[in-house]
Amino acid sequence: MTLLMFGVYSLFAQTLVFLPGMVAAKNTDTTVPTAIVFIIVFGGLIYLLYSIAANWRRHDGELSPTNLTTNRVRLFLLMIVALIAIQFIGGLMTSTGITQEATNQKALLELSKQFPVALALIAVVGAPPVEEFIFRALLMNSFPDTSRTWRIVRVAVSAIVFGLVHAPTEPLNFLIYAGMGLVFAYTFERTGDIRYSIGLHFLNNFFALFI
């Protein structure tokens, strides 16, 4: 299952790189073709990941959405503040020359100049659910949920793997991405509802790309 999970992520990453160019190569106006290909590719990926996660969780707990509560809203808002702080620290480190802008971020910004619609759809709409199902719903649930220690371990592993995937050779940028991953993982652990971490991931990517 772990190999399948990262195989799906590899497919997602390759799609992120090649999809805009493939669409643009055959069309002058890429808006409609991009939207159609996006719906097919990412709709299929999200459905596949949800199906795997749902079947897995039948033996291990619940994947079904939880009711909205005051505590969950408070947690969600607190995690937004945490993400803003992490983004601010990352921006400060880049602007002061402590570290260079992450290669992952540079690539996205470069692609956004050439294919703005495609990158907006992929990075803001497609990436959050795909990555959250992989790094939270699947990866975290591959660990036991029988003790506080194991819950801490799976949150930490999810954050570290998320950081390594996004900035494997850049130590300081790795810490920034791992910090984001920690926020998403902690939110999923506390709520047990993947929608909260997807929502946070969506907001994070939106502001990173457009603000």
The upper half-sphere exposure of residue 156, i.e. CA atoms within 13 Å in the direction of its Cβ, equals 6
Q: Global pTM? A: 0.82
- The predicted model gives 142-148 an average pLDDT of 83
pLDDT tier at 59, thresholds 50, 70, 90:
very low
Residue 79's closest CA among 148, 177, 180, 163? 180
* pLDDT over 70 (residue 25): no
Burial 7-45 (b: 16+ CB within 10 A, else e): ebbeebeebbeebbebbbeeeeebeebbeebbeebbeeb
pLDDT tier at 145, thresholds 50, 70, 90:
confident
Rounded to the nearest angstrom, the gap between the alpha carbon of residue 25 and the centroid of all alpha carbons in its chain is: 28
Find the range with the poorest average confidence among 28-37, 41-50, 85-94, 163-172. Answer: 28-37
Task: Give the type of residue at 154.
Answer: R
- The predicted model gives 76-105 an average pLDDT of 91
Q: What percent of the chain is modeled with pLDDT above 70? A: 78
Name the residue with higher pLDDT: 19 or 47: 47
Q: What is the pLDDT of residue 82?
A: 98
pLDDT tier at 61, thresholds 50, 70, 90:
very low
Helix (H) or strand (E) run with residue 176 in it:
helix 171-191
Q: What is the pLDDT of residue 126?
A: 87
What is the domain extent for residue 144?
2-210
Q: What counts of helices (H) and strands (E) characterise the chain?
A: 9, 0
pLDDT digit string (tens) for 171-180?
A: 999 999 999 9
Q: How far apart are CA 24 and CA 27, in angstroms?
A: 5
Contact 42, 126 (CB under 8 A): yes
- The predicted model gives 165-186 an average pLDDT of 94
Q: What is the pLDDT of residue 58?
A: 45
Name the residue with higher pLDDT: 12 or 179: 179
Altogether, the residues listed in the chain come to a count of 211
Q: What is the pLDDT of residue 170?
A: 87
- The predicted model gives 28-48 an average pLDDT of 72
Domain count for the chain:
1
Contact 127, 201 (CB under 8 A): yes
Burial 190-203 (b: 16+ CB within 10 A, else e): bbbbbbbbbbbbbb
Q: For 4-90, list the strands marked E by DSSP.
A: none
Q: What SS3 class is residue 60? A: coil
